[in-house]
């Protein structure tokens, strides 16, 4: 992934949490690796909470450095990374201040990348202010989620940004698409003759996609209470993962070939009848409980959460895809906060053999299963049946395990690092196209509307568990259960 592409990377929200934890550490790792970032490339932080470059670099040393020194820090590389950073203090609410930004970067070389690590309410004002000083020409704009509150607001943002930047200039980021196992899912399916013939309704019984968090809303209670798990996780991360799991083989790995196939999946999602939402959608809200031996509070008592809030912190869905490959195969999606473990994984449950010639132990041992884990440890595990040592034909489940950190000795690339390099180098395949986003919102909206209209409270679940019992009951109707393994 080496590049000679010169660039000017302008980071709005330069003192924000995302910049501190993800963006600047990812740029540093690319810098430290050598050859991934052009020597002439510059990072220009934009914020109003620092007086000048010296004060901003002091903030970077204090707040960003801990996130890049977990495995040891090369002080020489860190010092040279800081030399890349410039700073411009502007008030984002004052369009006149963008003249300062224009003047600060006009002599800097290469492609201009504007990363909006801000709240979505600032996306349109920032884009308009950039256009007012001519900074939208031959540039790339990166938009963080959430992009809108519903289909209407999402379209309003896309319409306004689309008047200023062409679609090929807009990079809607979803960091799950940059994770190594997601990339390996494409390699697994389309690079091997072994799996692709089995990747269809004749051989797959069901598929689960889980993104579970141990954390609560932390300091984001006000934001989260106006968002909820369906908007925050399902509409983007989970539906994007589903589309990659279920997509047809693309013609090539160029940006539009991949995104065209993902779009076909999203458009083939079976619409949910409002009368059936209670059968195929479960929402919950965490109460107090214990996680790793520590007592944690209920969502209702978190700072910023409205009294008697009905915002969901947990969602489980049964999804169907109406196409030739997947007709009749249920996809189960699940996400939540304050759950029993932090894990993100895709589970492909294959159908059992049509007739067991090996006796009852084969039936008890279960069917084949492929587990693609995205976090916390990135692995692909294939479960098969094998004979136990000793007398008789007693079968047990065993697994073939690909642990990337053991098989590939070189360090893995973090998701943000890969995606930021893709932006700098103009690769769009791992970013969400507008029509994909619209299709996802269109499918999600009936659920949002029905939950709002019914005004029923979410089902309670204790923190430290796997969510409401109704989520397990939904799978039990299909003679299956959630995979809940320890890390």
Task: Compute φ and ψ for 55, nearest 5 degrees.
Answer: -70, -35
Residue 368 · residue 384 · CB < 8 Å: yes
Burial class (CB in 10 A: 0-12, 13-18, 19+), 256: middle
Centre a 10 Å sphere on the Cβ of residue 201 and count the other Cβ atoms it contains.
Answer: 15
Task: Compute φ and ψ for 219, nearest 5 degrees.
Answer: -90, 10
Distance CA 219, CA 194 (A): 46
DSSP, res 58 = H
DSSP, res 108 = -
Residues serving a catalytic function are 237
DSSP alpha helix (H) spans, 137-291: 151-162, 180-190, 221-225, 228-229, 239-246, 255-268, 277-280
DSSP codes joined into one string, 112-170:
EEEEE-S-GGGHHHHHHHHHHTTTTTTEEEEEPSP--SSHHHHHHHHHHHHTTS-GGGE
DSSP, res 194 = T
């Amino acid at each position: 992934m080496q590049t000679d592409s010169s660039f000017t990377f302008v980071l709005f929200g330069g003192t924000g949490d995302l910049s501190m934890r993800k963006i600047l550490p990812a740029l540093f790792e690319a810098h430290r690796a050598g050859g991934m970032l052009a020597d002439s490339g510059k990072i220009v932080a934009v914020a109003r909470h620092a007086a000048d470059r010296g004060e901003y670099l002091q903030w970077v040393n204090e707040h960003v450095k801990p996130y890049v020194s977990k495995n040891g820090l090369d002080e020489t590389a860190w010092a040279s990374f800081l030399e890349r950073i410039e700073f411009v203090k502007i008030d984002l609410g004052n369009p006149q201040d963008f003249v300062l930004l224009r003047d600060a970067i006009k002599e800097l070389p290469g492609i201009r990348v504007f990363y909006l690590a801000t709240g979505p309410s600032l996306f349109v004002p920032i884009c308009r202010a950039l256009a007012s000083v001519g900074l939208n020409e031959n540039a790339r704009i990166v938009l963080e989620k959430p992009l809108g509150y519903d289909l209407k607001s999402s379209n309003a943002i896309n319409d306004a940004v689309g008047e200023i930047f062409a679609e090929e200039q807009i990079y809607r980021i979803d960091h799950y698409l940059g994770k190594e196992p997601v990339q390996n899912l494409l390699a697994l399916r389309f690079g091997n003759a072994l799996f692709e013939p089995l990747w269809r309704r004749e051989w797959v019984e069901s598929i689960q996609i889980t993104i579970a968090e141990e954390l609560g809303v932390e300091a984001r209670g006000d934001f989260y209470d106006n968002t909820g798990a369906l908007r925050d996780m399902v509409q983007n991360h989970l539906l994007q993962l589903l589309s990659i799991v279920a997509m047809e083989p693309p013609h090539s790995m160029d940006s539009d070939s991949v995104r065209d196939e993902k779009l076909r999946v999203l458009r083939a999602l079976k619409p949910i009848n409002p009368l059936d939402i209670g059968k195929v959608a479960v929402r919950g809200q965490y109460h107090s409980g214990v996680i790793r031996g520590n007592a944690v509070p209920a969502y209702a008592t978190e700072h910023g959460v409205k009294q008697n809030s009905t915002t969901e912190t947990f969602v489980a869905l049964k999804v169907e895809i109406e196409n030739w490959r997947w007709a009749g195969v249920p996809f189960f999606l699940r996400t939540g906060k304050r759950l029993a473990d932090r894990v993100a994984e895709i589970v492909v449950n294959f159908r059992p053999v049509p007739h067991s010639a090996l006796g009852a132990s084969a039936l008890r041992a279960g069917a084949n299963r492929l587990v693609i884990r995205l976090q916390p440890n990135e692995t692909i595990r294939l479960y098969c049946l094998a004979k136990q040592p000793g007398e008789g034909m007693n079968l047990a489940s065993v697994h073939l395990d690909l642990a990337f950190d053991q098989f590939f000795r070189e360090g893995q690339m973090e998701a943000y690092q890969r995606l930021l390099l893709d932006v700098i180098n103009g690769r769009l395949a791992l970013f969400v196209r507008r029509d994909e986003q619209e299709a996802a919102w269109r499918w999600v909206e009936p659920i949002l509307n029905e939950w709002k209209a019914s005004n029923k409270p979410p089902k309670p679940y204790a923190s430290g568990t796997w969510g409401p019992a109704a989520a397990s009951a939904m799978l039990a109707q299909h003679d299956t259960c959630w995979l809940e393994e320890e890390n």
